[in-house]
Amino acid sequence: MNRDLGCRKPITGLKSAIKEREFHRSIPLIAAVFLCVLSSAALKADDRPFLPGPVRVVSTVPANGDLNPYGVAFVPPSFPAGGSIHPGDVLVSNFNASSNLQGSGTTIVDVPANAPVSLFFQGTAPLGLTTALTVLQEGFVLVGNFPSTDGSCGNASAGSILVLDKNGNLSSTITDATVQGPWDSALFDEGGTAKLFVANALSGAVVRYDLAVSNSGVSVTRATQIASGYLHNCDPVTFVDAPTGLVFDPSKNVLYVASTADNAVYAVNDAADRTDDGGIGALIYNDPNHLHGALGLAMAPNGHLLVTNNDSINPDSSQPSELVEFTVQGK
């Protein structure tokens, strides 16, 4: 079913509040959007809410003034003690520096449940930390970066995936020919091993990284391009339109891909173990009445998919920032 999830009014208010900072550059506020969605009583698998109340509203702007929060990730319950982040914390990565140039942000902030927001990581420019933000239960944080020298996609470089330890120190970097503007990611974490799926904005391809994880660090045992052919192009407002949101369903071994420029959501079969490129996969949802540049993707407890939109493809200006729920069969 397609459903307005009740978040349009606060999002519209946000548009007015940051109008002078070019709202459309900040539409991928995945942290704010999904925290709003996940706390909605409209999407419950049972009588329990997605997140415990009350809702907490915080600023994700750190001391250096970084803007445009992109990635959001929860620290899992089994995350080891002794670090600067703790189970239940929310991490948020920033894509813009205080200059508001896209692809220039260098920070990740930590939002605990009942403590002040703090700085978890600050890297060296140029970075541009993206929505490709995940947390491994063994004590590491993975984040993609897609740096630009002048805030434009046309002058952006391929970037890398940073591996940070539980104290926010750089442990290692994943960088090879398959890393082409890591834009978003999904993680299947089995402790000592993990599979990281990354959507690349410069190539329009999805790569699976098979990871070995130990106390000493994270290493890539294999990198496999499992999907490609998604439209991808630079956008002067949204930076880039490319495959973005990823959701992996281990029970079906399916990776769902939200492709912004295609304005559609696809399913890639055998995602965890395929050794070849499956192309764009099977189309499962294409609805121009509700999709307006499919962006962030998440799965609800009822098995439905939730998608945000960046409005790069939207003929109806009266319906900005729409959130859509649909079944994996495309209804």
> Which DSSP symbol is given to 303?
S
CA dist 265 → 37, 69, 95, 240, 310 (Å): 19, 23, 24, 17, 14
Query: Please, which residues bridge with residue 265 across strands?
Result: 258, 285
Q: Where are the alpha helices (DSSP H) in the chain?
A: 8-17, 30-38
Q: Where does residue 210 rank: exposed (0-12), middle (13-18), buried (19+ CB within 10 A)?
A: middle
Per-residue pLDDT in tens (0 to 9) along the chain, 331 residues: 333 333 333 333 333 333 333 434 444 444 444 444 343 333 344 455 555 567 788 999 999 999 999 999 999 999 999 999 999 999 999 999 999 999 999 999 999 988 999 999 999 999 999 999 999 999 999 999 999 999 999 999 999 999 999 999 999 999 999 999 999 999 999 999 999 999 999 999 999 999 999 999 999 999 999 999 999 999 998 999 999 999 999 999 999 999 999 999 999 999 999 999 999 999 999 988 889 999 999 999 899 999 999 888 887 888 888 889 999 999 9
Query: pTM score > 0.95 for this model?
Result: no
Q: In sequence order, what E strands does 48-102 have?
A: 67-74, 90-96
State the Cα–Cα distance between residues 259 and 245, nearest whole angstrom: 7
- Which H/E stretch holds residue 221? strand 217-227
For residue 54, the model assigns a pLDDT of 72
For residue 318, the model assigns a pLDDT of 82
For residue 273, the model assigns a pLDDT of 97
Q: How many helices (H) and strands (E) does the chain have?
A: 2, 21
Q: In the block, which residue shows the tokens 């990635």?
A: 71
- Reported residue count of the chain is 331
Query: Can you read off the two tokens belonging to residue 184?
Result: 């978003």
3-state secondary structure of 34: helix
Closest CA to 306 of 56, 37, 71, 11: 37
For residue 6, the model assigns a pLDDT of 35
Give the distance, in angstroms, between the CA of residue 68 and the centroid of all CA atoms in the same chain: 13
